[in-house]
Amino acid sequence: MAKAQQQRIIFGLKVRQFRQERGWNFDELGKRTGISPSYLNEIEKGKKYPQEENLNRLAEALGLSPEFLASPELTKQYAPLGNLLQSNFLNELPLDLFGIEAQQVVEIIARAPDRVNAFISALLEIARNYALLNENFYFAALRAYQELHMNYFDDIEQAAEAFVHKHGLPENGGVSEQTLAGLLASEFRYKISENGLDAYPDLQSVRSVYNPKKRLLLLNSRLNERQRAFQLAKELGFNVLNLKQRPLASTLSRVRAFEEVLNNYRAAYFAVALLVNRHEFVHDLRRFFEQPAWDENTLQGLLAKYQVSPEVLFQRFNVLSRDFDLQKVFFLRFIHDVERDRFEIDKELHLNRRHQPHASGLDEHYCRRWLSIELLRDLGSSAADNSRPLIGVQRALFADTNEEYLCLGVAKPGYPTVGRNVGVTLGILLDERARAVIRFWDDPTIPKIVVNVTCERCGIADCAVRAAPPLALQKREARKRMEETIKKLTG
C-alpha cells in the first residue's frame, strides 16, 4: 500500500472515530466545518485527504490539534488496524485480482473495530509465530483464483490456439522440443544452452534459468525430453502472452511480487495448452470415458501420444469442468523422499468445493491407503520397473463422510532431483453426473478402498499400513467424554 494511501486511510479513521464519539452525523460535522457531507464521507473512506485549511477546520471542530489529527498515531481502539496497515499485510494480498480495494477492507473493519481488531491481532500473531511468508499468501491466492475460474482461462486457450495455427504445429500430439527451440530462436531471438546449469552444483534441482540481458535460456542437462519441451513451451508462453514481470528461474525460491506467481502460472498454462491440444484431448477423453472397463493402457497411450509428463497431462484435465460438466474435481501432487520415506503434498487444486483429500500443515502422516502413496511405494521398491510411469486407479471411500471418489494416479521417478519421486492424483467425486459420464466407474476390477486424511485422525481399526497412532482422534474423543461428563454433572 502506498504511503499516501495509508495516510488517507489513517486520517479518515481518526475523523470517523472522533465524529462518532461526539454523536455527530455528516451533516452536523459539515455545519461545524463548512465542509460538504459528501466530501467528509470521502475523507472517512480514505479516498480524499483535505487541504491544510480544511484539516485545521476539522481539528478545531473535533477539539484536536492539527498535528495529532495529521499524524499516523491511532488511538487504542484502532491501534491493531494501524499495525495491520504498517505491517504491509494488505500489500501481500493481491486484493485487486478479486476486485477488492484496500479501502473496502478497512471500511469493513472500521464498522466493528473492537471485535475485528482482536481478530486482526490474532492473525498477525499467528503470522509471526508460524513465519508465514509472502509466498504463502501468494500461492494461496493463486489457488483461490484458479478455483474461482474452474482452472479454465479462455484468453490463454485462444492465444495458444492462434500460435499453433500460425506456425502449423501438430494438434494431434507430439510437439517436439526441436520445434519449440526453433520457434524461440526465430521468433524471440533466444539462445539455448542445454547443459547451461551443469557447472553450478547449487542449481542441480533447478530445471532452467533465463538471462534476459543475453536472451539466454540455461537448461539442466538431466532433464528428459518431455521436461525440456515443457520448459521451452513455457518460455514461449512468457513471450507470446507478453508477461514482463516473471521469475528468472523455474523454481520460485523467493517471490518478489504476486505478479510473478500469476505470470508463472499463466506461462505454464500456455505451455500445457500448446503441448496438449484442447480439441484433440477432449475427443480422446470422450473415448476414454466411454470404455466399459478400466484400461491403464489408455492413459499410457495418452502420455505417449502427447509426449508430456504425467503432471502436464493431468493439468490438461482442466477441460472436465467445461466440456464434461464434471465440476467436483481435485488434483494433488505428492513428493516422496525415498531415503526418509516421507510424503508431502506440494501442489493441490480443488474445483467447486474443498474435497476430503487435501494437504495438511500439521506434520501428520497422510493415509497410506491413498492411491498415489501406494504407487510411490511401489516405485521406490527395488522390484519396480522405472522405465515407464506406474499407473493406477482406485475408488476411495472416505470413512468420515462416506463420499466416494474415482481416483486416477501416476507415479514416476523425480528428475532432475534423484531420490524424490513424484506422484499425481486426479480425483472425481462419484456423484450422479460422474457416473453418467464415466462408463467404467463401476468396473469390478477397480479396487474400492476406505481411506482417511491422516493416520493421526483416522479411526479405521486394524489398518495394516498405518504409519502413526490416531493421537489426534484420541484427544478429540477424550475431550468429548469430558464434555459429556460435565454435562451430566451440571444438567
Domain span at residue 192 reads 148-275
Q: Is the pLDDT of residue 270 over 90?
A: yes
What tens digit of pLDDT does each residue of 299-332 get?
Answer: 999 999 999 999 999 999 999 999 999 999 999 9
440 lies in some domain:
yes
For a pLDDT cut of 70, what percent of the chain falls above it? 85
Residue 197 contacts residue 204 (beta carbons within 8 Å): yes
Q: Give pLDDT, residue 109.
A: 62
Q: Give pLDDT, residue 90.
A: 61
109 lies in some domain:
yes
Q: Is the pLDDT of residue 150 over 80?
A: yes
Claim to verify: residue 386 and residue 329 sit in the same structural domain: yes
Task: Name the domain boundary from 90, 106, 132.
Answer: 132
CB contact set of 423 (below 8 Å; sequence gap of 6+): 333, 334, 336, 372, 373, 375, 376, 379, 409, 410, 411, 412
User: Whole-prediction pTM value?
Assistant: 0.78
Claim to verify: residue 92 and residue 231 sit in the same structural domain: no
281 lies in some domain:
no
Residue 255 belongs to domain with CATH number:
1.10.10.2910
Q: Give pLDDT, residue 339.
A: 87
Q: Give pLDDT, residue 33.
A: 94
Claim to verify: residue 152 and residue 128 sit in the same structural domain: no
Q: Give pLDDT, residue 311.
A: 94
Claim to verify: residue 65 and residue 200 sit in the same structural domain: no
Owner of C-alpha cell 476486485: 99
Comparing 280 with 415, the larger pLDDT belongs to 280
Task: Name the domain boundary from 98, 132, 166.
Answer: 132
Q: Is the pLDDT of residue 164 over 60?
A: yes
Owner of C-alpha cell 461428563: 485
Q: What residues are paired with 423 via a beta bridge?
A: 334, 411
Lowest pLDDT segment from 130-144, 270-284, 331-345, 412-426:
130-144
Claim to verify: residue 31 and residue 127 sit in the same structural domain: yes
Could you give the CA distance from residue 324 to residue 321 in angstroms, rounded to a whole number?
A: 6
Comparing 10 with 163, the larger pLDDT belongs to 163
Q: Is the pLDDT of residue 284 over 60?
A: yes
192 lies in some domain:
yes
Claim to verify: residue 323 and residue 458 sit in the same structural domain: yes
Alpha helices in 276-420 (DSSP H): 278-289, 296-306, 310-315, 319-323, 371-380
Q: Give pLDDT, residue 355.
A: 77
Q: Give pLDDT, residue 86.
A: 65
Q: Is the bond into 416 cis (omega within 30 degrees of 0)? A: yes
Claim to verify: residue 162 and residue 127 sit in the same structural domain: no
Closest-CA residue to 123 (of 78, 94, 96, 83): 83
Q: Is the pLDDT of residue 112 over 60?
A: no
Q: Is the pLDDT of residue 135 over 70?
A: no
CB contact set of 25 (below 8 Å; sequence gap of 6+): none
Mean pLDDT of 200-209: 93
Cell output for 56: 485545521
Claim to verify: residue 328 and residue 471 sit in the same structural domain: yes
Mean pLDDT of 253-280: 92
491 lies in some domain:
no
Could you give the CA distance from residue 311 to residue 107 in angstroms, rounded to a whole number?
A: 42
Ranked by mean pLDDT, the top range of 101-110, 260-269, 379-388 is 260-269
140 lies in some domain:
no
Claim to verify: residue 124 and residue 152 sit in the same structural domain: no
Claim to verify: residue 331 and residue 258 sit in the same structural domain: no
Comparing 168 with 255, the larger pLDDT belongs to 168
Q: Is the pLDDT of residue 220 over 90?
A: yes
Categorize the per-residue pLDDT at 82 as very low, low, confident or very high, splitting at 50, 70 and 90: low
Average pLDDT, whole number, for the chain?
87
Comparing 112 with 313, the larger pLDDT belongs to 313
The count of structural domains within the chain is 3
What tens digit of pLDDT does each residue of 352-401 get?
Answer: 777 777 777 677 899 999 999 999 998 887 555 566 789 999 999 998 88
143 lies in some domain:
no
- Per DSSP, the residues of 22-68 read TT--HHHHHHHHT--HHHHHHHHTTS----HHHHHHHHHHHT--HHH
Comparing 440 with 149, the larger pLDDT belongs to 440
What tens digit of pLDDT does each residue of 13-71 get?
Answer: 889 889 989 999 999 999 999 999 999 999 988 889 999 999 999 999 999 999 989 98
Q: Is 32 exposed, middle or buried (0-12, 13-18, 19+ CB in 10 A)?
A: middle
Claim to verify: residue 354 and residue 467 sit in the same structural domain: yes
Claim to verify: residue 383 and residue 318 sit in the same structural domain: yes
Q: Is the pLDDT of residue 427 over 70?
A: yes
Residue 87 belongs to domain with CATH number:
1.10.260.40
Q: Is the pLDDT of residue 78 over 80?
A: no
65 lies in some domain:
yes
